[in-house]
Each structure stands twice: as structure tokens, then as C-alpha cells.
Chains A and B, each alone.
Chain A
Amino acid sequence: QSALTQPASVSGSPGQSITISCTGTSSDVGGYNYVSWYQQHPGKAPKLMIYEVSNRPSGVPDRFSGSKSGNTASLTISGLQAEDEADYYCSSYTSSSTRVVFGGGTKLTVL
């Protein structure tokens, strides 16, 4: 069982918006602004999409945005495109000895 809780799957049609949640505790998501999101296509390495809750690395489309409220972080993808279909993982720093925790991943299907 993963330390951070994500829905197993979400889906949306092209052009729509979807949101993926990532729920932790006050020891990780709620306590620090070190939440990040990764996109992973089949057979590929994860790609950083959002860091420090809401920052986008250079080259990541502004259709991707991140936010946090309490112990839950969210990734929103607006204007869904076919190439957005992938697995998405959240991650957070944690004050526990584990230091880094991941969510179990969410499979995004673009209908």
C-alpha cells in the first residue's frame, strides 16, 4: 500500500479538463511544499510535470497545473489531448525516515 493515495483511474474526452488527487498526511503533503507530479508513458521513464506543488519545469505545457489544500494535492490537466494518456504519480517529501513517498499512480484514459 502506497503512502500517498491516488485514484486508480480517471478519464476524459479531448478538450475536457480532469483532476487527479493525491492524499497524504500532515507529515508529507500537508506539511511541506515539496509535492511533485510525474507522467509515465508505457515503457518509458517518468517525466517531471510539476514540482513544489505548482511549478512547471521548462517545456511542460501550461495545460498542466498543480495545487494543494490541506493534506491533498491535485494535478489538473486542461484541454486534454490524446498524448496526455499515461500514468501519473504524485510524490512528496516526508518528515518520516522514508524521506520520499510516492502515490500508487493514476491511469489517465483519453476517451
Chain B
Amino acid sequence: QVQLQESGPGLVKPSGTLSLTCAVSGGSISSSNWWSWVRQPPGKGLEWIGEIYHSGSTNYNPSLKSRVTISVDKSKNQFSLKLSSVTAADTAVYYCARVLSVHDAFDIWGQGTMVTVSS
């Protein structure tokens, strides 16, 4: 069964770039699924960040689009998130997730990784 695992620094300085990777195991990132990033600030709800297909096609949340880059590395079976010019408002648990099918639900989630933006 497919499993997802996020990794990356837990602390990022203000104005810096947040970088996370999601490793896909038990399946291929080149399957007919989109792959997403979702975040959750402490004590708050879920926010969709964006998604990528193995071809490299991407869609981003317009509220973050100017700062977000999602990429895929098929050779390593993983995809990544970069969020630039971070502020304290970007402090959150970041989840990677598999999209069931186009426009559809997130059926598999990583365990999440907490990223704090602080000097």
C-alpha cells in the first residue's frame, strides 16, 4: 500500500524559504494520481497549497501562488514543496497527500511535519 513521508527542516527563519520533500513508497509517483500539499496552522483548519502530476503540471492556491513551487523527482519517487519569503503566518503542520482522481479527495496522507517560522 502507498505510504507518504514528509521530511525537511522544522525551523525556518523569517524571509527564508521553506523546503519539504514527500517520499512515496509502496507505489509509483508516475501513477495516474495528482500529488498535493496541504497545511494546517496550529489550532486551525486545513488549507490546500497546491498539486503536481508526474508530468510536471502544477496547480497552486492563488493566495500562495507567487511564493510556491512544487516539483517532482521521478527518479527518487518523491515530490517537493518550496515556499519563499516565509513569515510567522506560514507556521503550520505541512502534509503531503495523494489525490484519488482528478478534482477528487485526498485518499492517502503523510503523517505531517511541523514547520515553525522564527528567528
Chain A residues in contact with chain B, CB under 8 A? Answer: 2, 32, 34, 36, 38, 44-48, 51-52, 57, 89, 91, 93, 97-105
Supposing A2-B45, A105-B45 touch, asked if A93 and B104 sit within 8 A by C-beta, the answer is yes
* Number of B positions contacting A (CB below 8 A): 21
Q: Tell whether, in the assembled complex, residue B109 and residue A47 are in contact, meaning their CB atoms are under 8 Å apart.
A: yes
A36, A46, A101, A103: the one within 8 Å of B104 (CB)? A36
Q: Cβ of B95 < 8 Å from any Cβ of A?
A: yes
A2, A36, A45: the one within 8 Å of B105 (CB)? A36
Q: Cβ of B46 < 8 Å from any Cβ of A?
A: yes
Supposing A34-B103, A51-B100 touch, asked if A45 and B111 sit within 8 A by C-beta, the answer is yes
Q: Tell whether, in the assembled complex, residue B46 and residue A48 are in contact, meaning their CB atoms are under 8 Å apart.
A: no
Q: Tell whether, in the assembled complex, residue A52 and residue B104 are in contact, meaning their CB atoms are under 8 Å apart.
A: yes
Q: Tell whether, in the assembled complex, residue B106 and residue A48 are in contact, meaning their CB atoms are under 8 Å apart.
A: yes
Neighbouring B residues of A51 by C-beta, 8 Å: 100, 104-105, 107
Q: What is the CB-to-nearest-CB distance from B26 to chain A, in angstroms, rounded to a whole number?
A: 16
Q: What is the CB-to-nearest-CB distance from B106 to chain A, in angstroms, rounded to a whole number?
A: 6
A45, A89, A99, A100: the one within 8 Å of B45 (CB)? A89
Q: Interface digits, B104-119 against A, CB 8 Å rule (1 contact, 0 not)?
A: 1111011110000000
Q: What is the CB-to-nearest-CB distance from A58 to chain B, in angstroms, rounded to a whole number?
A: 10
Q: Tell whether, in the assembled complex, residue B105 and residue A48 are in contact, meaning their CB atoms are under 8 Å apart.
A: yes
> Which residue on chain A has the smallest CB distance to residue B107?
A48
Q: What is the CB-to-nearest-CB distance from A88 to chain B, in angstroms, rounded to a whole number?
A: 11
A97 vs B64: C-alpha distance in the bound complex, in angstroms? 12
Neighbouring B residues of A105 by C-beta, 8 Å: 45-46
